[in-house]
Amino acid sequence: MDAAASPATPTDRNRPRLHIHPDHGWLNDPNGLCRIDGTYHVFFQYNPAGPFQGNIHWGHVSSRDLLSWTTEPIALRPRTDGPDRGGCWSGCIVDDAGVPTAVYTGILDSPLNAGVTLSRSDRTLREWHSDNEWRIGVPEDPAITQVRDPFVFAHSGGRYAVQGAGGFDQSPQVLLYGCDDLAEWTYLGPLLTTADPIAAHIGEGNFWECPNLFRLQDSWVLLLSLWRNDVLSGVRYLVGDLAAIGDGLRFIARSGGRLDTGPTFYAPQVLVEPDRVLLWGWAWEGADRTADEIRAAGWCGTLTSPREVVMRGDHTRLQPAAELSGLRCELIEYAPGSPLRCDSFETIAPAGLRLSLVDTATGQKVTVAESDGPTQLLVDGSLIEIFGAGPSCTARAYPGANRHWMIESSGSLKLWRLGLPN
């Protein structure tokens, strides 16, 4: 089955058709992004039992073209006697000398009792064989009470991993490990703390979650998802350099900012390819979708479109992956300010735009997104993605059965209906 085109009820216009999410249940963080033998694989935090967080598995989809996604068997499951019996939480996949290996957070009974564990597969990534122990737990440091979300990277011929850390009464950190052998991890201390003034200003919070560290052009980029006072508080980027200090490395920031300004974007992960860096993020549900509506629909959460990470000056920006133009199946003649009776569409506006939902009975209009300057807008069901000169913006708005979209702009528009290629 195509996960991106999974069937919804005729009245469920809120459901994205062209994005990664399961037929039912809960979805959050993207995990394990990789390309193995020409096939893209995307995993994600998944609760098959219902549209609520808990009972966390790794869901799995695959694609050859980044457009049409095929649902694969569930990859990782909590094991009653394993180091992940409290959930298979976020992590990455390493092609370890030809063996795809999931490196992820296994929880025993609470986030206070978590460590890094491994699971290995063949090149199909459909059958997994998991370890029965952690490779590393929480460091013996009173300033660290929780660790999570390992991400593996290469530097100067060595293999390392970063991990998010912090505590409710502590400052956030990114920890560093040496892991040339994935079965033997060496703690190398913090990669980054709030002693770095740019990081302290940009990344204020209690935890730095889902750290991603990668090289882009001549710089190193570090992505951090902020947990602040028990609230998910968006995603920041830092641009800087890696310095060798003792046996380890330290990240020295020189600039930073918000990666996405939207209210529903969190926990992105990157896939570093030879000629580009791809990224998916988690788009959670907006505040105006009620718990009763979620329960009745049976699904909650989606991933964003695949995006390319680019550098503009000393700033990190996101733009739609080039392949997404393959979803343009019909150019629509549209007069700005008129009803748009289409639920999956893309528009390019040279002079900015305003996107609204209009009640078909009363004509009441609610503005859900707007942008100044040249703008590329993607809408799929309830998922809104906006790209321009600055940070991207990810938002949710729900047409339901009784509202239509409207785009207003002071300039001309190009508008396409989006759909899967034949």
pLDDT tops 90 at residue 400: yes
The answer to whether the beta carbons of residues 199 and 223 sit under 8 Å apart is no
How does residue 154 score in pLDDT terms, banded at 50, 70 and 90? very high
What CATH architecture applies to the domain 25-324? 5 Propeller (2.115)
Spatial neighbors of 124 by CB under 8 A, at least 6 apart, are: none
The answer to whether the beta carbons of residues 392 and 280 sit under 8 Å apart is no
Residue range 260-279: average pLDDT?
97
pLDDT tops 50 at residue 2: no
% of the chain surpassing 70 pLDDT:
97
Q: Measured between alpha carbons, how far is 298 from 8 in angstroms, rounded to an integer?
A: 10
% of the chain surpassing 90 pLDDT:
87
How does residue 3 score in pLDDT terms, banded at 50, 70 and 90? very low
- Spans of all domains in the chain: 25-324, 328-418
pLDDT tops 70 at residue 274: yes
pLDDT of 4: 37
Residue range 344-371: average pLDDT?
95
pLDDT tops 70 at residue 120: yes
Tell me the per-residue pLDDT of 4-20, one tens digit each, with 9 for 90 and over. Answer: 334 444 569 999 999 99
pLDDT tops 70 at residue 233: yes
pLDDT tops 70 at residue 37: yes
How does residue 268 score in pLDDT terms, banded at 50, 70 and 90? very high
Tell me the per-residue pLDDT of 180-232, one tens digit each, with 9 for 90 and over. Answer: 999 999 999 999 999 999 999 999 888 999 999 999 999 999 999 999 888 88
pLDDT of 168: 72
Mean pLDDT of the chain, nearest integer: 94
pLDDT of 236: 98
Tell me the per-residue pLDDT of 54-106, one tens digit each, with 9 for 90 and over. Answer: 999 999 999 999 999 999 999 999 999 999 999 999 999 999 999 999 999 99
Spatial neighbors of 218 by CB under 8 A, at least 6 apart, are: none
Residue 377's DSSP bridge partners are: 347, 386
Question: CA 410 → CA 2, 353, 373, 377, distances in Å?
Answer: 38, 7, 10, 15
pLDDT of 91: 98
Tell me the per-residue pLDDT of 92-102, one tens digit each, with 9 for 90 and over. Answer: 999 999 999 99
pLDDT of 11: 67
Residue range 327-346: average pLDDT?
95
pLDDT of 276: 98
143-147, 148-152, 172-176, 395-399, range with the lowest pLDDT = 143-147
CB atoms within 10 A of CB 272: 17
pLDDT of 132: 93
pLDDT tops 70 at residue 290: yes
pLDDT tops 60 at residue 411: yes
How does residue 122 score in pLDDT terms, banded at 50, 70 and 90? very high
